[in-house]
């Protein structure tokens, strides 16, 4: 099973490195640097450049670990039993995983205009080369396609706002209860 949080990653197939040993040496060098940096400072270079995903994934994994291996629970309402606390921790972990996925909004999942928009853009795509050989891309959209495009981006803005509000609610909940996350 692949661990998305590991600093030891090799992006190519193993057979690729047989014909490209310098690529393997380079990847191994950076894997070692990331491993060393994470061990020394608590985060790696790769963690910092995609922090919005990394910390929510790490938080979700840590919360699941706490749920599975924790010895205590707050003992106050609404977490007055270990089972209620454990269920709450799993819910928080699930919410953090959602937060991570919500940062990779691609428009397909919930936007009913996506397929029509993609079709309109593919149909309207035109490539030409200028006198210097540079490629120029233009889109010739019909009025109907313009309406589809406008509807797509309007819905995308609505979905983005919904995601922002949900992340704000989730992270606010975690912030309010942060002192309770201990073992």
In the chain, the DSSP E strands lie at 125-129, 135-139
- % residues pLDDT > 70 (the chain): 97
**Non-local CB neighbours of 171 within 8 Å, separated by 6+ positions:** 99
What is the predicted pLDDT for the residue at 130? 86
Distance between CA atoms of residues 126 and 116, nearest Å: 18
84 or 2, which is more confident: 84
What is the predicted pLDDT for the residue at 165? 96
What is the predicted pLDDT for the residue at 107? 64
Q: Is 163 helix (H, G, I), strand (E, B) or coil?
A: helix
- % residues pLDDT > 90 (the chain): 66
The tens digit of pLDDT for each residue in 88-136 reads: 999 999 999 999 988 887 667 788 999 999 999 998 888 888 888 899 8
CB of 97 within 8 A of CB of 60?
Answer: yes
Global pTM reads 0.78
**Non-local CB neighbours of 103 within 8 Å, separated by 6+ positions:** 52, 53, 56
Distance between CA atoms of residues 80 and 150, nearest Å: 50
Query: Residue 1: which pLDDT band, with cuts at 50, 70 and 90?
Result: low
- Residue 117: both structure tokens together: 């928009």
Q: Is the pLDDT of residue 4 over 80?
A: no
């Amino acid at each position: 099973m692949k661990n998305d949080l590991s600093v030891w990653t090799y992006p190519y197939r193993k057979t690729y490195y047989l014909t490209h040993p310098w690529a393997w040496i380079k990847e191994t060098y950076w894997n070692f640097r990331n491993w060393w940096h994470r061990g020394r400072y608590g985060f790696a270079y790769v963690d910092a450049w995609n922090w919005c995903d990394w910390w929510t994934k790490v938080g979700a994994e840590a919360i699941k670990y706490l749920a599975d291996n924790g010895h205590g629970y707050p003992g106050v309402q609404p977490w007055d039993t270990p089972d209620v606390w454990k269920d709450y921790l799993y819910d928080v972990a699930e919410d953090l995983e959602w937060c991570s996925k919500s940062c990779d909004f691609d428009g397909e999942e919930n936007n009913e205009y996506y397929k029509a928009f993609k079709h309109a853009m593919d149909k309207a795509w035109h490539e030409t080369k200028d006198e210097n050989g540079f490629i120029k891309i233009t889109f010739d959209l019909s009025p109907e396609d313009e309406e589809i495009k406008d509807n797509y981006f309007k819905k995308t803005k609505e979905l983005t706002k919904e995601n922002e509000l949900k992340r704000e609610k989730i992270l606010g909940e975690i912030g309010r209860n942060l002192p309770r996350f201990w073992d």
